[in-house]
Amino acid sequence: MTPSAEPLTGAKMRLVEYLKRVEVATAPELAATFGLTDTAVRQHLEALEAGGLVERRASAAGGRGRPAVRWCLAVPARAIFPDRHGDLTVELIGSIREALGEKALAKVIEARGGHQTAAYRAELNRATSLKARVRRLAEIRTAEGYMAEARADGDGYVLVEHHCPVCAAASACPGLCRSELEVFRAVLGPDVEIEREQHLLSGDQRCAYRIRPS
């Protein structure tokens, strides 16, 4: 379930932030913490549950009666909290460039490309046809956040990536895009020609690669 797009009210946001700190809590515990009624807290929790932000976790009964329901954050709730990994990546790229120079940065990118190539080859080793290799590559890239798809086109294919999860880093370091094109060429084999026809960083809406037999 995807999280609700509606902004959280003050009470709901306080509940989410509190669950982030304590991990799990019952409705009565939350009611006591915030000075609310059990009914009000349960209504907020059920609304958050419907939005995909919290979930129930049953715990063993501490005595007579049914087990207490404990509430915790669902995975989609992570998107509510600040995430600076993109900013950190850009800062690291700038620090490497400033402290060690462009050659050192190029070596880092080359090493990353080598790891990518090895990982992709391990995933593509059972795909014998070009069609199977391109489709498997699209699956791998989708799993990495690129929203990729492979489309048949004439005697070849077009690999389309609708999203770039490393766009900020690629903007700071264009060598990353060059490296990924080289990785594609390496893993799809010497009998294949690949050209980038659309590029997000050039103002296009997506990245697209035309792939055809040599």
CATH number at residue 16: 1.10.10.10
Backbone angles phi, psi at 24, to 5 degrees: -140, 150
Query: Is residue 59 domain-shared with residue 110, that is, in the same domain?
Result: no
Rounded to the nearest 5 percent, the helix, strand and coil shares of the chain are: 55, 20, 30
Query: Is residue 167 domain-shared with residue 194, that is, in the same domain?
Result: yes
CB atoms under 10 Å from CB of 91, counted, come to: 12
Distance between CA 171 and CA 199 in Å, rounded? 12
By DSSP bridging, strand 148-153 and strand 69-73 are: unpaired
Confidence of residue 208 (pLDDT cuts 50, 70, 90): very high
Into how many domains does the chain fold?
2
Query: Is residue 53 domain-shared with residue 149, that is, in the same domain?
Result: no
SS3 state of residue 97: helix
pLDDT at 61: 53
Q: What is the mean pLDDT of residues 150-168?
A: 93
- Within a domain: residue 205? yes
| 1 pLDDT higher than 50 | no
Tokens representing 39?
A: 């009914």
Query: Is residue 58 domain-shared with residue 27, that is, in the same domain?
Result: yes
Distance between CA 93 and CA 116 in Å, rounded? 18
Bridge partners, residue 194, by sequence: 211
Find tokens 């009565």 and name the residue. 28
pLDDT at 30: 95
What residue ranges in 23-171 does DSSP mark as E strands?
24-26, 54-58, 69-73, 148-153, 156-161
Average pLDDT, the chain: 90
Distance between CA 204 and CA 132 in Å, rounded? 27
Confidence of residue 6 (pLDDT cuts 50, 70, 90): low
Query: Is residue 149 domain-shared with residue 95, that is, in the same domain?
Result: yes
Full-prediction pTM beyond 0.75?
A: no
Confidence of residue 68 (pLDDT cuts 50, 70, 90): confident
Query: Is residue 124 domain-shared with residue 148, that is, in the same domain?
Result: yes
What residue ranges in 74-162 does DSSP mark as E strands?
148-153, 156-161
Domain region containing 179:
85-213
Query: Is residue 117 domain-shared with residue 209, that is, in the same domain?
Result: yes
Distance between CA 25 and CA 162 in Å, rounded? 39
> What is the tens place of the pLDDT at every residue in 28-67?
999 999 999 999 999 999 999 999 999 998 765 555 666 7
Q: What is the mean pLDDT of residues 112-134?
A: 95
CATH number at residue 143: 3.30.1380
Bridge partners, residue 196, by sequence: 209
Confidence of residue 5 (pLDDT cuts 50, 70, 90): very low
